[in-house]
Amino acid sequence: EYKENYLNLDLLNLPFDTKKLGTSDRFNDSPVDYALLTNELNADIRDMEGCAIVQTTLCSNLPVYSVKAISDVAGSGSTTEQFLINKDKALKNLQAELPTIFEEL
């Protein structure tokens, strides 16, 4: 059971920007959801699955490593359209960084 709204994580020494993930039971691209993400959660990225995985592993005292290739930007229109436009670039970016990630692990 969590009494705080935020999970404290240990970070690897990777050469990437650290961002705060915000989670909710749903996100769309409405002004209300964008305000929830940025103003109330003080998050940089919306993420539902990654947050659930991290919370589950922390509750189970298991290590977890999470890297996110972002395919859509909150507040920038249809997430489906953005995903279709950006998915190939996001995957190429992730693929290019995998050696760095595995070296650190």
Among candidate residues 1, 49, 61, the one with its CA nearest the CA of residue 23:
49
| pLDDT of res. 72 | 78
Query: Whole-model pTM above 0.75?
Result: no
| pLDDT of res. 100 | 87
DSSP code, position 21: E
pLDDT tens for the chain, 105 residues long, are 566 667 766 677 777 777 788 877 766 677 888 888 888 888 888 787 888 888 888 889 888 888 888 887 777 777 788 889 989 999 999 999 899 888 887
